[in-house]
A and B are shown apart, each in its own frame.
Chain A
């Protein structure tokens, strides 16, 4: 049996979550500090969450496809994007980003502004405030965002199949493998990948709730 969808799914989800983590937190921090255009920036970053993933994939295809300036430029440089593993990662990042961004932003907003102000008047640099005060005190929300983003990336289908395709051994993930198996009338295989996805997603969500419960318990001690 071909196990590559399993490895490709894990690899794609891991790499995309790593990227989403930094991009999501960075965007949350930047948007919160924006004086104007906050609502618009917020809406744009959140859009992939509410749009059908196929539409997200379609736009990615437009931006990076052969016919676009960027796509043809990258192709000339010898960096094809569409229907490669990179495209699968990009699709997963875009789709899971709103989850990371929104939970991180919510966590940052919960922070008592006076604590950050106190650090400023004590002479602590903005960089240190971010890493040593804002981030550690927002860890619950950020952790939750991380797990949500990862599980979203695990199950990503629509944008992936539009933008990265369903090439066995390269871009075929567990979720696209389910689709391919059903198309080929192989219900046993479809069952197998579907079951694997359910087990995985459940495992990470349970892990998150246990983790968060333990962290919030340990906070007072």
Chain B
């Protein structure tokens, strides 16, 4: 399975312009709502027409603006899982699953039985969608798509409509489905951890363009752009200016010593994740005495807002395990180390 996507489409506020190739993998489009990620899926499925570009699935041209090719969604045979599952309300679970199938009665019966078993829908065959829970509806929607034999799945925010405890179970199920599919899936999500758990590669998207396309570890370790850092959950960012070996992070009120560390030429911001700040015993390089602005207890950790003593700077968020914070809060003076190797160097 190989999907090549290159498309441009003028939207109301910006122009959608994406290029990527997905092979046998789970590929995630990560972006804030309204950034054009769902529109990208709709264009791939043929529900919307791009202004220009080319979409090729396994050598089959689905769309080519230059050659005037634009296959209908029916001809594309791409599985699309809608955010609200979009089951047919006037049909039972069984009818929903077989409705799009072609072939003899026996074949349909066999495919139905297979998918009912695969998605644990036994006993619900005669139920109508309105009587099902969100999780059950999603399983029916999956069964309906896979019954048609689709090899490429497009998942549009598949878990956003579910309660968090259900989310986790369904995520496991979806991962099983995707690994048994033997095809590719494109996941659209605004939740970074969901994208990280499910996908192998992640494309960070902002206002219609892909900022970075890389392996998920790379995307989280080196987001490269300010919005990439924020989308991957970096809570602390600051504009920086460099003078020789001194790097001043104005927003934080800190000046870091580079100690010969190579930084990108176009460096404009730095970021540090809340759990990468560390508590140290006393003064040292890139270590600062901080005062606590606020400490907020979370379920398994503390979130502490810090700033250099006496400065009016924007507070840094430090996430510390409960015992670490208990120890730190007992100290008369608080020294926090900013490790250079954990800094995110951000271009724009």
A123 touches B100 (CB 8 A): yes
Q: Answer yes or no: B169 CB below 8 A from chain A CBs.
A: no
Q: Given A112-B84, A114-B84, A132-B99, do A121 and B90 touch, yes or no (CB 8 Å)?
A: no
Contacts of A32 in B (CB 8 A): none
For residue B140, give the distance in angstroms from its CB to the closest CB of chain A: 11
How far is A96 from B13 in the complex, measured between Cα atoms in Å?
43
Please tell me if A117 contacts chain B, counting CB pairs below 8 Å: yes
Q: Does A196 interact with chain B (Cβ within 8 Å)?
A: no
If A123-B148, A124-B100 touch, whether A118 touches B86 (CB-CB below 8 Å) is yes
What is the CA–CA distance of A2 and B83 in the complex, to the nearest angstrom?
Answer: 63
Chain A, interface SS category: helix
Residue A125 contacts which of B42, B45, B74, B78 (CB distance < 8 angstroms)? B74
Number of A-B contacts (CB under 8 A): 65
A133 contacts which chain B residues (CB < 8 A)?
88, 90
Chain A residue total in the interface (Cβ 8 A) = 19
Task: Say whether B80 contacts A137, CB under 8 Å.
Answer: no
Query: Is A122 at the interface (CB under 8 A from chain B)?
Result: yes
B47 with A115: CB separation less than 8 A: no
Given known contacts A132-B99, A133-B88, A137-B90, A121 and B76 CB-to-CB distance under 8 angstroms: yes
- CB proximity to A under 8 Å, residues B88-102: 88-90, 99-100
CB closest chain-B residue, reference A126: B74
Q: Tell me the complex Cα distance, A117–B38, Å.
A: 13
Question: What residues of A have a CB within 8 angstroms of the CB of B87 in the complex?
Answer: 115, 118
- Tell me whether A117 and B82 are in contact (CB under 8 A): yes
A115 touching B130 by the CB < 8 A rule? no
Closest Cβ–Cβ distance, residue A107 to chain B (whole Å): 13
B72 within 8 A of A: yes
Interface residues of B, dominant DSSP: loop
Min CB gap A185→B, angstroms? 56
Task: Give the distance in Å from the alpha carbon of A118 to the alpha carbon of B89 in the complex.
Answer: 12
B88 touches A123 (CB 8 A): no
Whose C-beta in chain A lies nearest to the C-beta of B154? A121
A55 interface residue, CB < 8 Å from B? no
**Which residue of chain B has its CB nearest to the CB of A114?**
B86
B9 at the binding interface (Cβ < 8 Å): no
A115 touches B86 (CB 8 A): yes
Which of B73, B90, B128 makes the CB contact (< 8 A) with A117? B73
Distance between Cα atoms of A119 and B73 in the complex (Å): 9
Task: Answer whether A119 and B82 are a contact pair too, CB < 8 Å, given A124-B99, A125-B74, A219-B130.
Answer: no
Q: Which residue of A lies closest to B145 (CB)?
A: A122
Query: In the complex, A118→B97 CA distance in Å?
Result: 12
Give the distance to chain A from B46, nearest Cβ to Cβ, in Å. Answer: 8
CA–CA, A219 and B89, complex, Å: 9
Q: Is B292 an interface residue (CB 8 A)?
A: no
- Give 1 or 0 for each of A202-221: 1 = CB within 8 Å of chain B CB: 00000000000000000111
Please, which residue of chain B has its CB at the minimum distance from the CB of A125? B74
Q: Mark A99-122, 1 if CB is under 8 A from B, else 0.
A: 000000000000010110111111
Chain B 64-79, CB within 8 Å of chain A: the 1/0 string?
0000000011101111
Q: Which residue of A lies closest to B90 (CB)?
A: A136
Cross-chain contact B100 with A119 (CB below 8 angstroms): yes
Question: CB of B144 within 8 A of chain A?
Answer: yes
**B131 on the interface (CB 8 Å rule)?**
yes
Which A residues touch B88, using CB under 8 A? 115, 118-119, 133, 137
Highest count of chain A CB atoms <10 Å: which of B99, B100, B130: B100
For window 26-82 of A, CB contacts with B under 8 Å fall at none
Write the nearest CB–CB distance from B99 to chain A, whole angstroms: 7
Q: Give min CB distance, B227 to chain A, whole Å.
A: 29
The chain A residue with its CB closest to the CB of B148 is A122
- Does B99 contact A117, Cβ atoms closer than 8 Å? no
Q: Which residues of B contact A125 (CB under 8 A)?
A: 74
Partner of B130, one of A117, A118, A119, A220: A220
What residues on B are CB-neighbors of A123 within 8 Å? 74, 77, 100, 148
B99:A112 contact, CB within 8 angstroms: no
Tell me, in angstroms, the Cα distance from A164 to B131 when the chains sit together: 52
Across the A-B interface, give the 8 residue pairs with the lowest CB-CB distance, nearest first: A122-B100, A118-B86, A120-B73, A114-B86, A121-B80, A136-B90, A115-B86, A114-B82
A residues with a Cβ closer than 8 A to B are 112, 114-115, 117-125, 132-133, 136-137, 219-221
Given A118-B80, A123-B148, A137-B89, 16 additional A-B pairs, CB 8 A: A114-B82, A115-B86, A117-B73, A120-B46, A120-B73, A121-B46, A121-B73, A121-B78, A121-B79, A122-B100, A122-B145, A122-B148, A124-B100, A125-B74, A220-B130, A220-B131
Q: List 23 A-B contacts (CB under 8 A).
A: A112-B84, A112-B86, A114-B82, A114-B84, A115-B88, A117-B80, A117-B82, A117-B86, A118-B88, A119-B88, A120-B72, A121-B73, A121-B79, A122-B100, A123-B74, A123-B100, A124-B99, A124-B100, A125-B74, A132-B99, A133-B88, A137-B88, A137-B90
